[in-house]
Amino acid sequence: MESSPLEGIRVVELGGGIPAGYCSHLLAGYGADVVQIGDPGLTEDEDRYLSRGKRRVPMPDADDLHALLTAAHVVVDGRAPADGDAGMPGARQLRERYPHLVITSLTPFGLDGPHAEHRATNIVSFASGGIMALTGERDRPPLQTGGEQAFMLGGLHGFAATATALLGALIQGEGDLIDISFQECAASMLEYCAAAWEYESLFVERSGNTPRPEWGVYRVADGWAGVCCLGRQIPALLDVLGVEQEPRWLDPVQRTEHADELSAHILVFMAERTKDEIVALGPPNKVPFGAVRTPAELVNHSPLLERGFFDDGPDGRLPGRPFPGLTWVRLQPVVQAGIDEVLSTWGRVAEEVAS
């Protein structure tokens, strides 16, 4: 059996929460041995998804905590900066006391700055990163996207940075402190909108489901589908729509001036077809069409099943590997464990490291 890329890596998850849970979930999926300390503070569904593949132990005393941290390679810290104390040091104190560790701190605003000790819900992180300036209709209040996207994004960035720092630690023999801010992670999704303001003082406003006619989400016969054409793909889109290739459609400036008319053509075209019919037109015509799938449809979506995206287990079918390629461990439900049980294996390593 092919080994996992993080096999043998020992991870301690502190503080709980969605960002830390998702970061260490991905580490576990790629083979790390994750020990989750205490109650992760998740809902039942969040816990079922994010805590798979981990062992959960009660809060250890100072000696047991020291043994765990001495033997670990990584600490994923989901606590607010102010949560550190003498019994459970903060991220910076952990870095000082255990220089071999990669310590990934996941907080709303980072470890420094005027808001460093502030807490935040997902919607606050989503808004403070600027994304809500872009989500929703222009003449209506801003919207938050579904789920806990800002928190999950923080966990995803935390995983990527942790894996990179871990490679450096294994090569150089010294750990690092990774400071992940949910606000900064959200801001990284602004794409050209942030640069437009920085370099051209251009404020990009909310534009709903249809930023422009050739890039938007439309209602179809059985739900919603989208099109996302670049300029070079406009001729192919016009052919599919049955619209003559006139200069007013091909020239980007004129196309903007006639946006409502082009949008009307797309609206009629979409409304007369189902999601599957729209998607099927994409490859042969080289037009980037896509369908908006419901959760029930995604669970049985053949492209996701073919790439092994889901883990099937006692808790049902849940998202698993984020992308194909590296070996993924099919994660099982979280296991309640005693600290002595963990230290029976990790403790031997701690003794070796200490000696």
Alpha-carbon torsion angle 93, 68, 174, 112, nearest 10 = -30
- Residues 178-216: tens digit of each pLDDT: 999 999 999 998 888 888 888 989 888 888 888 888 899
Task: Give SS3 for 317.
Answer: strand
pLDDT given at position 348: 61
Tokens of 5: 């890329």
Distance (Å, rounded) from C-alpha 309 to C-alpha 331?
Answer: 12
Domains along the chain? 10-189+310-354 (3.40.50.10540), 215-299 (3.30.1540.10)
pTM over cut 0.85? yes
pLDDT given at position 316: 85
| Region 64-74 average pLDDT | 94
Distance set, CA 140 to CA 134, 143, 205, 303, 347 (Å) = 12, 9, 11, 36, 57
Per-residue confidence band for 272, with pLDDT thresholds at 50, 70 and 90 = very high
DSSP 83-151: G--SSS--HHHHHHH-TTSEEEEEESS-SSSTTTT----HHHHHHHTTGGGTSS-TTS---PPSSSHHH
The H or E element that residue 36 is part of is strand 33-37
